[in-house]
Amino acid sequence: MKRKQFDDEKLPTSKKLKECPQITSSAVSCVLDESFGSNFLHIKFTLTRKSIIKWKTNIPSDFIPIEYYFDKEFVMEVVKKDGYELRCASHELTNDRQVVLEAVKNNVNAIWFASANLKNDKEFIKLVLEKEINHEEFIYGSVLACLSNELRNDREIVLQAVKQHAFALEFASRTLQNDYNLVLKAVQLHGSSLTKASLELKNNRTIVLEAIKRNGSAFRYASKKLRNDRQVILEAIKTYDQTLYFTSEELQNNKEFILEAVKMNGWILKCTSSELKNDEEVVLEAVRRNRQSLKFASGKLQQDTDFVLKAITQNTEAHQLDLDGDAIIIERQHILDAIKKQDGTVIQTIPSPFQNDKEIVMEAVKQNGLALKYASHELQNDTEIVLEAVKRNNYALKYASMELRNNKQVVLEAVKSHSNALKYASEELQNDKEIVLEAVKQSGYTLKYASTELQHDKELVLIAIQQYGIICPEEFSNDREFLLQAAKPNGRSVMEFVSNELRKDQQFILELVKRNVLETHYLPNEFRHDMKLMSEIVRHNGVALKYSSEELTIEEKYILEEEAILQNGFCLDFSFEKFCKRITREYPELYLPNYKFKHLGVDFHVLNAPFSVPNVAKLFY
Residue 402: the pLDDT is 94
Chain segment 336-379, per-residue pLDDT in tens = 877 777 678 778 767 677 889 999 999 999 999 999 999 999 99
Q: Say if residue 318 is in the same domain as residue 366.
A: no
On the CB side of 487, how many CA atoms lie within 13 Å of its CA?
25
Under-50 pLDDT residues of the chain: 1-26, 132, 134-140, 316-330, 596-621
Q: Is residue 620 part of a domain?
A: no
Distance in angstroms between the alpha carbons of the first and the last residue of the chain = 43
Chain segment 197-247, per-residue pLDDT in tens = 999 999 999 999 999 998 888 999 999 999 988 889 989 988 888 888 888
Q: Say if residue 386 is in the same domain as residue 312.
A: no
Q: Say if residue 309 is in the same domain as residue 343.
A: no
Say what the alpha-carbon torsion angle 301, 307, 310, 314 is, to the nearest 10 degrees: -10
Contact 186, 159 (CB under 8 A): yes
Q: Say if residue 342 is in the same domain as residue 383.
A: yes
Q: Is residue 579 part of a domain?
A: yes
Residue 376: the pLDDT is 92
CA-nearest of 284, 28, 582 to 276 is 284
State pTM to two decimals.
Answer: 0.54
Q: Is 39 exposed, middle or buried (0-12, 13-18, 19+ CB in 10 A)?
A: exposed
Residue 315: the pLDDT is 52
**Domains in the chain: how many in total?**
3
Residue 139: the pLDDT is 45
Q: Say if residue 575 is in the same domain as residue 526.
A: yes
On the CB side of 327, how many CA atoms lie within 13 Å of its CA?
15
Contact 180, 207 (CB under 8 A): yes
Q: Is residue 204 part of a domain?
A: no
Q: Is residue 133 part of a domain?
A: no
Q: Is residue 561 part of a domain?
A: yes
Q: Is residue 540 part of a domain?
A: yes
Which residue pairs, CB below 8 angstroms and at least 24 apart, start in 215-224?
Answer: 215/190, 215/191, 215/239, 216/191, 216/240, 216/243, 217/191, 217/192, 217/242, 218/187, 218/191, 218/192, 218/194, 219/243, 219/246, 220/246, 221/192, 221/194, 221/195, 221/197, 222/194, 223/199
Domain boundary among 288, 304, 326: 326
Q: Say if residue 303 is in the same domain as residue 342.
A: no
Q: Say if residue 297 is in the same domain as residue 263.
A: yes
Q: Say if residue 333 is in the same domain as residue 303.
A: no
Measure the CA–CA gap between 356 and 377, rounded to whole angstroms: 8
Q: Say if residue 292 is in the same domain as residue 353.
A: no
CA-nearest of 136, 87, 88 to 108 is 136
Which residue pairs, CB below 8 angstroms and at least 24 apart, start in 329-335?
Answer: 330/354, 332/357, 332/360, 335/360
Rg (CA), the chain: 36
Domain boundary among 394, 424, 449: 394
Q: State the residue range of the domain holding 565.
A: 40-69+519-593
Q: Is residue 205 part of a domain?
A: no
Q: Say if residue 361 is in the same domain as residue 305.
A: no
Q: Say if residue 526 is in the same domain as residue 569.
A: yes
Q: Which residues of 272-303 are buried (b: 16+ CB within 10 A; e: fewer)?
A: bbeebbebeebbbbbbbbbbbbbebbbeebbe
Q: Is residue 417 part of a domain?
A: no
Q: Say if residue 322 is in the same domain as residue 343.
A: no
DSSP H/E element including 532: helix 531-540
Domain boundary among 364, 394, 424: 394
